[in-house]
Amino acid sequence: MRVVLKLGTSVLTAGSDRLHRPRLVELMRDISAVRAAGHEVVLVTSGAVLAGWEALGFPPRDRTLAEKQLLSAVGQSRLMHLYALVAELYGLDVAQILLTAADFRHRTRYLNARTTLDSCLRRGVLPIINENDAVATSEIRVGDNDTLSAFVANLAEADLLVILTDAPGLYTADPRTHPDATLIPVVERVTPDVWALAGGAGSHRGTGGMHTKIQAAEIATRAGTPVVVAPGDAPEALRRLVAGEALGTRFLENGTRLEARKRWILAEIAPGSVELDEGAARAVRERGGSLLPAGIHRVNGPFERGHTVRLLGPGGQEVARGLTRYPSSDLALIAGRHSRDIEAVLGFTHGPEAVHRDDLVRL
Ligand SMILES: Nc1ncnc2c1ncn2[C@@H]1O[C@H](COP(=O)(O)OP(=O)(O)O)[C@@H](O)[C@H]1O
Ligand SMILES: N[C@@H](CCC(=O)OP(=O)(O)O)C(=O)O
């Protein structure tokens, strides 16, 4: 299972006004146990602003963007330093990936982020993601890490998104102000009724309260990834959730991940195409295999890396549609050649496939 775990500031501080070291150790132990059981974990963390505030001796609260940027610039490296220290206790290496909304919007940046994330997971390194607050102006900010974690779950094609927070889950009303509110264990679909539970603006604490968690749930479940909002102080929360235990609120996925992805690929406008030889057309059509450059005899561009292209059989009929890993200019140079020659021809490689089977929809 590939899990994206989001830790809010409230979890990392454990009710105090600084990063709570013992809590970090507990959380890392939980992550390490889940990884030892064979799962992949991607961490999305908040806490940079808080860490900066702590490092500068708790200056008076100032919620302007400039101050947040300063505090996160100071705090991000300290936050990572702490993560590296506690990860080392469990023999884990960590990697820092800082993203903004622009990285999800631009195809090439999106694909590059995905490649780096994949490389970390392949090498057993724990990727730790936060918003790049220091450079994120209002137009390119995601703005809150709940939403960021949903974008990351899509990027990573996660099987589960776990959002740990200081509430035990989604309640029928904000439990801080409504002591009689009760836990909702399962949300089948994010409807207006569900949105209404988050309370109006102003009832939220932290960056977004429950509102941004529901938004994250909507984004991820729509792409086929289930989401759990659970209490960050529950012992071994991640291990228990991955094992299927009911804890907090579970938002059920809306269709399968593959269907969501295929819908997305088919919805793309695809002016570019590649013409396949008989063998490649058969491999793609009959076995749903990846398309290698060797099976391409003509490239009809222009198109960029990550664009949707039509895969045409020898008779000119469209056999499939998929996302190309190479732009048309590069693909023209490696068409008809063995994948092991890619690096020699281009001077770099984005992998052996022109279109990977995960990115391909047969027609
Ligand atoms: N319906 C609700 N159920 C649970 N919590 C809610 C609800 N509405 C608002 N909240 C508030 O959302 C808070 C969690 O969000 P937030 O403070 O932003 O945490 P984090 O730092 O983990 O993102 C809870 O402490 C709670 O006061
Ligand atoms: N990027 C910011 C966190 C923003 C955020 O969404 O915080 P939270 O509501 O605590 O998850 C930081 O590192 O401080």
The tens digit of pLDDT for each residue in 102-161 reads 898 777 788 889 999 999 999 999 999 999 999 888 878 899 999 999 999 999 999 999
ipTM summary value: 0.95
- 299, β-bridge pairs: 274
Distance (Å) from CA 19 to ligand 1 centroid: 19
- What φ, ψ does residue 136 adopt, rounded to 5°? -85, 100
Q: Is the CB of 208 under 6 A from ligand 2?
A: yes
Distance (Å) from CA 181 to ligand 1 centroid: 13
pLDDT at 335 over 90: yes
Q: Which residue's CA is minimally distant from atom 14 of ligand 1? A: 209
Q: So where are the chain's domains?
A: 2-255, 261-362
Peptide bond into 302 cis (omega under 30): yes
pLDDT at 206 over 70: no
The tens digit of pLDDT for each residue in 29-80 reads 999 999 999 999 999 999 999 999 999 999 998 989 999 999 999 999 999 9
CB 102 within 8 A of CB 110: no
- % of the chain surpassing 70 pLDDT: 97
| CATH 3.40.1160.10 matches 2-255 | yes
Distance (Å) from CA 10 to ligand 2 centroid: 9
Q: Which residue's CA is minimally distant from atom 6 of ligand 1? A: 174
Distance (Å) from CA 207 to ligand 1 centroid: 9
CA dihedral 155, 233, 9, 163 (to 10 degrees): 20
What's the pLDDT at 205? Answer: 44
Residue with tokens 């100032």: 62
CA dihedral 276, 277, 280, 281 (to 10 degrees): 70
Q: Which ligand is nearest to the CA of 134?
A: 2
What's the pLDDT at 202? Answer: 41
Measured distance CA(158)–CA(335) in Å, rounded: 32
Structure tokens at 139: 């137009």
Annotated binding site: 6, 46, 133, 145, 165-166, 207-213
Q: Is 63 exposed, middle or buried (0-12, 13-18, 19+ CB in 10 A)?
A: exposed
What's the pLDDT at 207? Answer: 61
What's the pLDDT at 129? Answer: 98
What's the pTM?
0.83
CB 322 within 8 A of CB 358: no
CA dihedral 267, 272, 275, 281 (to 10 degrees): -20
Q: Which of 205, 207, 213, 229 to mutate to test the pocket of ligand 1 (most atoms within 8 A of CB)?
A: 205
Q: Is the CB of 69 under 6 A from ligand 2?
A: no
- % of the chain surpassing 90 pLDDT: 79
For the 261-362 domain, the top CATH level (class) is mainly beta
The tens digit of pLDDT for each residue in 278-303 reads 999 999 999 989 999 999 999 999 99
Q: Which ligand is nearest to the CA of 132?
A: 2
pLDDT at 191 over 80: yes
Measured distance CA(334)–CA(261) in Å, rounded: 27
- Closest ligand 2 atom number to CA of residue 6: 11
What's the pLDDT at 290? Answer: 96
* Average pLDDT of span 265-275: 85
Q: Is the CB of 143 under 6 A from ligand 2?
A: no
pLDDT at 204 over 50: no
What's the pLDDT at 313? Answer: 96
pLDDT band at 199 (very low <50, low <70, confident <90, very high): low
- Closest ligand 1 atom number to CA of residue 197: 1
Distance (Å) from CA 167 to ligand 1 centroid: 6
Distance (Å) from CA 226 to ligand 2 centroid: 22
Q: Which residues of 170-283 form beta strands (DSSP E)?
A: 186-187, 227-231, 249-251, 273-276
Q: What is the mean pLDDT of the chain?
A: 93
